[in-house]
A and B are shown apart, each in its own frame.
Chain A
Amino acid sequence: MSALVQVRDLARDYSMGSGPVHALRGVSFDVEQGEWVAIVGPSGCGKSTLLNLLGAVDSPDAGSLTIAGERVDRLDDRAATTFRLRRIGFVFQRFYLMPALTAAENIELPMAEARIVRTERRARVQELLGYVGLAGRADHRPSQLSGGEQQRVAIARALANKPALLLADEPTGELDAATGLEMIDLFRRLNRDGTTIVVVTHDAQMAAAAARRIQMRDGAIIAEAVT
């Protein structure tokens, strides 16, 4: 059986006033179903660019990307949107919850967009809140939650439509060390329960927790390590 994620010679340039920036210079790797991969490297080496391509929020200039059998690099805007909704869970460094919605409504949002019936939505919200340890926080707004709690809500939201792949860009970047460790525990549990994870991180402990680390520099992969 082929890998869940197949990245082949993926390249992405940004045109700047001073000329093109080669953010990604032909990157190839696979991610197997159920794997937990950490992407590490210095700031500006192209990690977020790579993650955005994996999450279909950006398109490559060259190369191919196949996720769960779909050629993601060839999707038009509408198809890419559906792909993101059904297949990808995205977690950002800065939580990015909707400030006007409660924790429960934030988690419900992608399910409402996927036209899941209300009762089923509500049940899944409760289940997810319990899973990330926020059962009592359903009606809190993001401003009433701590950074760690907000990031848990963001993870619950990412899991709402049972994605094939969970992508996280520096999920511990804005958390203190202790909360960061809790987050690593949560990711560990997620992966043990079968979630395939690709996480971009600066955090050595987060990277060490992943089974496999991809080291990048200057838009290219320079090393790989498997624990």
Chain B
Amino acid sequence: MNPAGFSEQVRRAWAIAKKDIRIYYLKGPVLIFGVFMPLFMFLAFLMGGRQLPLSFLISGLVGMTLFFTATAVSPAIFPWEGQAKTLERLASCPVTVEAIVFGDMIASILFGIGITIVTVIIGLAVGLSLIHGITLLVAILLAACCFSAIGMLLAVPPTNVPSNIMMLSSLIKFPLVFISGIFVPLEQMPAWGLVLAVCSPLTYFTDLVRYSFTGTHFFAVWIDIAALAVFTVVFTVGTMYLHKRTMPKRM
């Protein structure tokens, strides 16, 4: 066994993910938030009574659900653990910062995927038909990785006050939803809106979900997938690099 080897570090990251799930995700309020938030969002959409088809709404809903759940808890984990001094414990264990970040990402990926599948099932239950199941699956997997990396990026400022980070991440997360073609179809967006939209990974995921449910899409499927993949790699590498630099400041 080489403790510093890649496979061994991945195994240790998995131990961190299990710990996160047990401590931070399998909590009544978190699960209730996870299941009810999309449900209420969905109701709010329906009540809005706008002239948009149900399938468009549900695609947006699925996009939002994955985005919010995958970024819901992870930004606060480092501040929580910094405060509780358990981060110092991890820092003195033979795990790299990358493995710790990766472990936190795995936990949020699993949580995001789990809740999003609940939303998809609700969608199917209200009579939506799934046209491209495999595409949806690939999209959810890829986007979950991408969004969980965003969640960890939001955790980069080395504060040990969880509420600061939560405030900051809301400030960034909500505007992102408005530029991502969830409430307004990309076709109806003004040019400047589209310029903003192409910068948001959520745009590509929503486009893929719409394609899966309705068969229509704004970008080509391969562009959506490639864009998501590039965002995922850039954000993952970026968040690991930044955390490596800021970790000592948390101690």
Partners in one complex: no
